[in-house]
Amino acid sequence: MADSAHKTEPSNDLVETTQAHVGHGSDAHVEINPMEISGQMVIWTWVLFFITLGALYKLAWKPILGALDSREEEIQESIDHAETLRQEMAELEAVKAKQLAEADEKSRKILEAARKGAREQAEAIEEKARDEAAILTENALRDIDVSRALAEDGLRIKSAAWARALAGKLIEENLDDAKNQALTDKLIEEL
């Protein structure tokens, strides 16, 4: 209870102070009820409200609206810039796709040309190899023919020599070298 008595004292002081201010010029003791609506208080409240509203309009509302307008313009410019960039990116993508298609076509043509060149070169190498093989075969056949002719000549000479030796033994006549040579040549031609 001491607390409640203590709490009532400041409110009593407040009431006395308020009564002293109100009754400053008069001896009448008037009590003010804060819950009571007075016409003068309503008028002052509206006057202060409109003064505050005007001050806020001049000092805060216009700068806030200006900042919001400038921010809106910046956002719109950013949106426009982003749209422009999007269009440019779409154009760049189209150009890139076209260049990729052209590069693909060029690479395909290069590969076809390389394959054709490789085929032609392989055919040329093959033809050259065939020609060289034919030349080697012809040379080998010529060498064989020459070797065969030499071997045949050698066999004829040896055969003639054996035949002369045999004939000489059979006849037992010894012919001189010139006669031997003439007889050998004759026998070679006959063979």
CA distance 75 to 16: 60
Residue-wise pLDDT tens for the chain (191 aa)?
A: 444 444 444 444 444 544 444 444 455 566 777 777 888 888 999 999 999 988 888 888 888 888 899 999 999 999 999 999 999 999 999 999 999 999 999 999 999 999 999 999 999 999 999 999 999 999 888 888 888 888 888 887 887 777 777 676 556 545 567 776 777 777 677 76
CA distance 95 to 100: 8
pTM for the model: 0.37
Q: Is residue 154 a contact partner of residue 184, using CB atoms and an 8 Å limit? A: no
Q: What share of the chain is helix, strand, coil (3-state, %, to 5)?
A: 90, 0, 10
pLDDT at 2: 44
Tally Cβ neighbours within 10 Å of residue 91.
10
CA distance 5 to 118: 116
Tally Cβ neighbours within 10 Å of residue 149.
10
Task: Give residue 87's Cα distance to chain centre.
Answer: 22
